[in-house]
Amino acid sequence: MNIIRPINQNDYDALYDCAVKSGIGFTSLPVNEDLLKRKISRAERSFKADVQVPGDQGYLFVLEDSNSGEILGTSGIEAAVGLEDAFYHYHMGKVVHHSRELNVHKSIDILTLCNDYTGVTEICTLYLHEHARKHNNGRFLSKFRFLFLAEHRKRFADRVIAEMRGVSDEQGNSPFWQWLEEHFFSMDFPTADYLTGIGQKQFIAELMPKYPIYVSLLSKQAQAVIGQVHEKTRPALKLLQSEGFSCRGYVDIFDAGPTVEASLEHIRSARYSRRLPVVIGDVAGADKYMIINTRVSDFRAVMQRAVIQDNKLVISQASADALQVSSGDWVRFSPAV
């Protein structure tokens, strides 16, 4: 059985392996021993903290095969971004150049550097090993977070975002960044992405163009990838769109990948989730649900068969053991698809 639980120090080697295999452009998992260990320590503190309002907490989870003990992937939640370090985006807008005398009216697309998402909750750091990309594991590893958000509302903002990885090739070359590099940075995309991942963002404020960029002045290759996602990110974007996420005109400052957002109350899995006590019983042939316990530091999630009966959720003994619950304990759940 696959179980999602909070990360701990014993998971360092597995997290490092995820960082290596995730590749260039996966900013939240840089291949850096010290930073990854600090991520784990911060997550442990966050899960144990008594939180009344969202702050500088980062929750990192792992998907574990309970039979083999293998870590199959990871995903995370940032409670409120931009409180400690500036959180940058480009916002896509327009300016109009108009002259009545010359009968000229021209609308021009622009990109403006901003910090508009400061304080919102971010779902992030989703990586699943290729051999585990089956049996809806990827959907589970992404969507269970919406149940966690719904169950622990005071820990998170009402607005939730996800940054989608933009277009780059296998060597890490980003058409959008190549234009910025040529005119402003003299630093390749993998280096800029790595520095951001380890928290060294001062160079952005120092070197990023301060004024809006006219999109028409960018190279054709850079223009073509604005708001587009990496080929491997398309399934993740499609899943989030099915949950109610949409792009409101914000893109990444390095690869121009889109950022999507939704209000927590409008996210499908959170909105249709229910909270019921459990009973142990026979669930053969029943539908599958994502099920989480209602705890934080001892959080557990599974995707298993269950049935609603007499205003209770009937689950198997194996599911109860995995969730660390007994008959009468409460869980939150939603359909698995």
Query: Tokens 């869980």 correspond to what residue?
Result: 331
CA angle 285, 291, 297 (to 5 degrees): 150
Tokens linked to 312:
């209770």
Cβ neighbors of 102 (< 8 A, separation 6 or more) are none
Q: Which one of the listed residues 89, 129, 152, 230 is annotated catalytic? A: 230
Give the closest residue to 31 by CA, choosing from 182, 197, 143: 197
What does the alpha-carbon distance between residue 154 and residue 169 come to, in Å, rounded to a whole number?
40
Burial of 246 (0-12, 13-18, 19+ CB in 10 A): exposed
- Three-state DSSP state, 291: strand
Determine whether 98 is an active site residue.
no
Q: Which helix (H) or strand (E) holds 236?
A: helix 234-242
What does the alpha-carbon distance between residue 208 and residue 205 come to, in Å, rounded to a whole number?
6
Residues known to be catalytic: 230
